[in-house]
Structure 1
C-alpha cells in the first residue's frame, strides 16, 4: 500500500510574524504589473524622446509578456535553486535596476531595461505562488485574492499618475520614479525574508534527515498522485491560456472597439475602458467571499466565467449596456486569476508540484497572451469589423470555461 502524499507545507505563522509577512508580500505584488503599465500612458512622449516608431513602442510594451512566456522555465529552475525568499528579493532588485536602466534615454537602454523588468517579474510570478502555498495554504484563496488585487492596484496607480508625473518632470523621471515601489518592497521583504530563513533553519534542525530536493519530492509521490497533478496542470494551463489571451486582447483593443461600435471619441473610449482594470480589484475579493459562504470551487469558477463571457457577447448583442459588460468582465478577470492559482496552491501535493505547475500554466498562458492582440488585430483587418474578433474572444473564453469546469471538480482523493 502506498502512503498518502505529503501535502504542500502549508505552515501558518502566528501573530505579528504572519501580519508582517503578508504586508511584505502585498508590497511585492504591487510591483508585479506596475512597471509594465507605466509605459502606455506616455507612449507618445517616449516615442518622440527616443525616436521610436509606433511599432517600436508597441514592441517595448509587449516585451514583458514575451518574457513571461519564454523565461518561465528558466525562472522555475532559479526559484528551485535559490528558494522563494531569495527569488522574491531578486525580483525586486531586478525591477528596480530595470526601471532605472529603461529611463536612461536611449533605445538600447529602454529595451535592455524592459527585458530586465520582464525577467524579474517572471521570477516573481512563480516565487509568490510558492510562498502562498507554503506559508498560507489554509488561507490561500484570501491571500491570492489580495495578491491579485495589489497587482491591479499597482497597475491603476501607474496608469493614472504617470502622465501627471511626466508633465511635471519629463517621461524619463516619471518612469524612473516608479522604482520607489520596488525600493519600498525590498525594505519590507528583506527583514521578512530573514525571519522566514531563520524559521526554516529551526525547522531543519528539528527534523531528522536532510531536506529533500524538488525532484526527490516528486519521486516520492505515488503514480496516481503524479497523474492527478499533471492532469490539473494541463487543465489549468488551458484555462489560463484563455484567461490571459482574453485579458491582453481586451486591454489592447477595447478602446477602439468602443469607438467603432458606439461612436465614442478617443478620450472617452479610453476612460470607458478603465473599469475593466479597476473592477479587477473588487473581483479578486469575490472568490474568498464565495468560498467563505460555502460555494464550491466549480460554482465560483462558473460564476466568474459567465461574467467574463458577458463582455464579448454583450458587445455583440446589447452594446448599449457596455458599462455593465465592462464592469462584469473586469471583476471576472481578477476573480478568475484568483481561482486558478488558488486551485494550484490548495490541490498540489507538494511545493515542487506548485512550482512546476505554476511554471507550466504561466508558460502556456502568456505564450498565447503574447499572440492574442496581434491575432485579434489581424482578424479585424481581414474582416473590416469587430464581430469576428469578438467571436474569437468568446471562443477563447468558452475553452477556458470548459477547462475550469473540469479542473474545479471536487477532488475524490
Structure 2
C-alpha cells in the first residue's frame, strides 16, 4: 500500500493538509460579512461576490488548472497554488474593495488548482486505496469549511475581521511546507504526460463522463442552494428566528464531515457504486421532501441534509477517480466535471431565490430541488457503470 512507505505517508499528509485549505477561506467570510461591508462600504452585490466569485473560478478555471498540471507537474502546480493562496489571504484584507475582490479571485484560482489536480495525484499515488483516500481528503475539505465557519467569529473578536481572514493563510503556509517535501512523490505518482489534444475530444463525447459531470452539477446545485437559503427557508416555513436558522446552517455544514466519511466506508464493504449513488441521492431527497411536507421537523432535515452534502461531494470526487483510466484522464475528467458542475451549481441559489420571489413562497423552489435530487439518482446510476474513460 503506497501510504505505508514514508513517501506515501508524507504524500497522504500533504493531500489532507491541502484539502483543509480548499474551502475554509470561503466559509470564513460569512461570519464577518457585516463587519466587512461596514468597513469597506460594500454594496449587497459586491458582498455577494465574496462567496460567488471563488465558485465561478472553480468552474471557469478548471480546464486551465488541468493544463497547468500537465505542463509543470501536479506537485509543482499544487505547491504554487498553496503559496498563491497564502498570499491572497494577506492581499484581500488590505484596504479597499477592489483589493478585497482581487484577493478573493486569487483565492478561488488557487483553490481550483487543488480541486482539479488532487484527484489525479490520489488516482496515481494510492492505487487500490484511492477510493478510501478520496473519502479522507473530501472529509478534510468539508472539515476545513466547517472550521472556517466556526472559528472566524471568535478570532475576529480578538484580532478584528482583517486578522481573522488573514489567519486562513497560516494553514496554507503549513500545507505548502509539507507539500514542498512531498512534491517529488506527487510528480512520481502522477508524471506529466505529453499534451494529447486528440484524446481530449472523446472525453466530452463519453456518456459516462457526462454522467460523472452531471453528478457534480446536480449535487452542487443542491448544496449551494441550501447553503444560501436554509435559514431563510426555515424562517418562512417553520417560523424559526435568525439565531435558530444560524444553528441549523452550522449543523448542516458540520455534519458534512460525517457524510463525507460514509462514502469510503460503504465502498470498503460494497465496491459497486450504483447502490451508493442511489443512497446519496436519497439522502438529498429526504430532507427536501421533509421541508415540503413537514417543515416543523426541521432539525431532522438539517441533520440528514448535512450528511447528504458531505456524502455528495465525496461521491462526486470518488467517481472521477474510479472512472478515469489514468492520472491524466483523472485530471481532465476532474476539469470537465468542475467546469460544468460548479458553473451549474453557482446558478442554483440564484434560480431558487428568483423562483421563490416570483411565486411568493418556497413550495416551487423545493419542488425544483426535489427534481434535482431525483436527477442525481439517475445520473449516479449511469456514472457508476464500470467503464473507464480517457
Offset from partner CA, 1:70-99 (integer Å, 9 cap, x none): 111221211111111011101101111111
- Aligned match of 1:213: 194
SS of 1:273's partner is helix
What are the ranges of 5 or more consecutive residues in structure 2 without an aligned counterpart?
Answer: none
Contact kept in structure 2, 1:156 and 1:277, CA below 8 Å: yes
Contact kept in structure 2, 1:248 and 1:369, CA below 8 Å: yes
**Residue 230 to residue 77, structure 1, CA distance change in 2 (3 Å):** same
- Aligned match of 2:142: 152
Offset from partner CA, 1:5-60 (integer Å, 9 cap, x none): xxxxxx93542221121111100000000011111110100001111122221122
CA displacement at 1:351 relative to structure 2: 2.0
303, 326, 333: which one aligns with 1:327: 303
Offset from partner CA, 1:347-369 (integer Å, 9 cap, x none): 21222211111111001111111
SS of 1:105's partner is coil
Contact kept in structure 1, 2:62 and 2:335, CA below 8 Å: yes
266, 290, 293: which one aligns with 1:317: 293
Where does 1:54-69 land on structure 2 (aligned, <5 Å)? Answer: 54-69=44-59
TM-score after normalising by structure 2: 0.94
CA displacement at 1:412 relative to structure 2: 9.9
Q: Which moved more, 1:334-343 or 1:231-240?
A: 334-343
- Aligned match of 2:360: 384
Quick check: 1:178 aligned with 2:168? yes
Quick check: 1:259 aligned with 2:235? yes
Contact kept in structure 2, 1:214 and 1:352, CA below 8 Å: no
Q: Distance in 1 between matches of 2:61 and 2:333?
A: 15
Offset from partner CA, 1:149-207 (integer Å, 9 cap, x none): 1111111111111111111111111111111010110111111113445x57xx99xxx
Quick check: 1:169 aligned with 2:159? yes
Quick check: 1:369 aligned with 2:345? yes
Q: Distance in 1 between matches of 2:85 and 2:369?
A: 32
Q: Which moved more, 1:172-181 or 1:13-22?
A: 13-22
- Aligned match of 1:246: 222
- Aligned match of 2:102: 112
Q: Distance in 1 between matches of 2:77 and 2:305?
A: 32
Count of matched residue pairs: 389
SS of 1:409's partner is coil
Q: Distance in 1 between matches of 2:181 and 2:329?
A: 27
Q: Which moved more, 1:178-187 or 1:136-145?
A: 136-145
Contact kept in structure 1, 2:213 and 2:341, CA below 8 Å: yes
Q: Distance in 2 between matches of 1:84 and 1:395?
A: 37
Q: Distance in 2 between matches of 1:273 and 1:354?
A: 33
SS of 2:196's partner is helix
Quick check: 1:29 aligned with 2:19? yes
- Aligned match of 1:188: 178
Alignment RMSD, CA only?
2.2
SS of 2:206's partner is helix
Q: Distance in 1 between matches of 2:27 and 2:388?
A: 42
122, 126, 137: which one aligns with 2:116: 126
- Aligned match of 2:270: 294
Contact kept in structure 2, 1:241 and 1:364, CA below 8 Å: yes
What are the ranges of 5 or more consecutive residues in structure 1 without an aligned counterpart?
Answer: 1-10, 205-210
CA displacement at 1:384 relative to structure 2: 0.8
- Aligned match of 2:312: 336
